[in-house]
Amino acid sequence: MANMITLKQIDYALAVAKNLHFKKAADECFISPSTLSNAITELESHLGVQIFERTNKKVLVTTLGKEILAKAKLIKIEVNSINDLAQSYSNAQPISLGIIPTVSPYFLPLMLPKIEKKLPAINLKIEESQSNSLVQKVSDGELDIAILALPYDTRELKCYKFWEEDFYWVSHAKDINAGKAEIKAAELEDAKLMLLADGHCLKDHILDACNITSKTSYSLKASSLNTLIQLVKGKMGTTLIPQMALKDLVSNQKNLYISHLNEPGPHREIALICRENYAGHENVMLLLDIFKDTFRK
């Protein structure tokens, strides 16, 4: 009887397609490059087709290889679903959770103690990354669920909103508009506005809320909200942060003032995403109940 395609061969092939590099794919799979290369050769020999074109300098996926790998990815997702389903009936229920950096520092300290108390059987594995990476990983089955901010293209994934909030302008006491309860976007044009760097969806949400085009110059692009706040303290400019970050970043900070951004809202919504056929859907509903209850309070 001819050898069947193995799940390991599928994993290895998907890793090569992801990295387009055999050594990097081998490192990701914790095997030697020769073991990975042999497995891919066996897979191609079994199928009688070439999945990858490879030279010493680069790796390409063939046209037929792309179709094969698309089906292989679906197989991997279904196998993960089988494992998830089996785990859901065991004592420990591991869930891999992705979360964006502009939510995790303010969200996790609130939620983790409550999850541990109310859902002790759930074992969370947490990964922080940007929205585009999280959507891709949930789609590919590398993460079970993720938390991100909307609006954002979540593709075919299920999306459960559980919180909405506005932005607040943070300025130094010396700023001409400091101390206002409300501020309009038009008043921020000369405010030396500092935002996060490209790739952070919060930056895009702020630009949308303020009707600022990407071509409009703003004075600095940082990698974290905490960095922006420190720069405001140093009189380098002003910034906008979401409501959930106010307590951690601004409370008890001398010489810093906040003003609500008086533009149509909510300025962003926080949501949980997962695959349509995710086996742990019951746990998703339990987590959502905790999220909603915590934010209500």
Residue 85 has pLDDT above 80, yes or no: no
pLDDT at 113: 93
- Higher pLDDT, residue 160 or 193: 160
How does pLDDT run across 237-296, given as a tens digit for each residue? 899 999 999 999 998 888 899 999 999 989 999 999 999 988 888 889 999 999 999 888
How does pLDDT run across 259-274, given as a tens digit for each residue? 999 999 899 999 999 9
Average pLDDT over residues 228-233: 92
pLDDT bin (cut points 50, 70, 90) of residue 63 is very high
Fold of 92-162+269-296: D-Maltodextrin-Binding Protein; domain 2 (3.40.190)
Name, in order, each residue with C-beta under 8 angstroms of 146's C-beta and a sequence gap of 6 or more: 97, 98, 99, 134, 135, 137, 138, 272, 273, 274
How does pLDDT run across 117-158, given as a tens digit for each residue? 998 888 899 999 999 999 999 999 999 999 999 999 999 999
To the nearest 10 degrees (0 to 180), the angle between helices 104-118 and 281-296 is 110
- Is residue 125 within 8 A of residue 97, CB to CB? The reply is yes
- What are the φ/ψ torsions at residue 170 (nearest 5 degrees)? -110, 125
Burial of 122 (0-12, 13-18, 19+ CB in 10 A): middle
CATH class of the domain defined by 7-85: mainly alpha
DSSP structure class, residue 93: E
Residue 219 has pLDDT above 60, yes or no: no
- Is residue 268 within 8 A of residue 205, CB to CB? The reply is yes
pLDDT at 94: 83
- Residue 17, number of CB atoms within 10 A of its CB: 20
For residue 274, the cross-strand partners are 145, 158
Nearest to 224 by CA among 133, 100, 50: 100
Nearest to 100 by CA among 257, 223, 235: 223
Residue 255 is encoded by which pair of tokens? 């010489």
pLDDT at 1: 38
Residue 20 has pLDDT above 90, yes or no: yes
The residues spanned by each domain of the chain are 7-85, 92-162+269-296, 167-261
How does pLDDT run across 41-60, given as a tens digit for each residue? 999 999 999 999 988 788 99
Please report, rounded to a whole number, the percentage of residues in the chain having pLDDT higher than 90.
61
pLDDT at 186: 87
Domain 7-85 matches domain 167-261 at the CATH topology level? no
Name, in order, each residue with C-beta under 8 angstroms of 150's C-beta and a sequence gap of 6 or more: 159, 161, 268, 269, 270, 271
- Residue 3, number of CB atoms within 10 A of its CB: 10
Burial of 136 (0-12, 13-18, 19+ CB in 10 A): middle
How does pLDDT run across 163-193, given as a tens digit for each residue? 999 999 999 998 888 889 999 988 886 568 8
Instruction: Give the architecture-level CATH label for domain 167-261.
Output: 3-Layer(aba) Sandwich (3.40)
Nearest to 138 by CA among 280, 294, 26, 27: 280
pLDDT at 295: 84
Average pLDDT over residues 4-30: 92
Can you tell me the distance from the alpha carbon of 248 to that of 168, in angstroms, rounded to the nearest whole number? 13
Q: Tell me which of 4-13, 210-219, 258-267 is least confident.
A: 210-219
Average pLDDT over residues 17-36: 93
Residue 90 has pLDDT above 70, yes or no: no
pLDDT at 220: 65
User: What average pLDDT does the chain have?
Assistant: 88
Considering the entire predicted model, what is its pTM? 0.71
Residue 106 has pLDDT above 50, yes or no: yes
Considering just the CA atoms, what is the radius of gyration of the chain in Å?
23
pLDDT at 163: 94
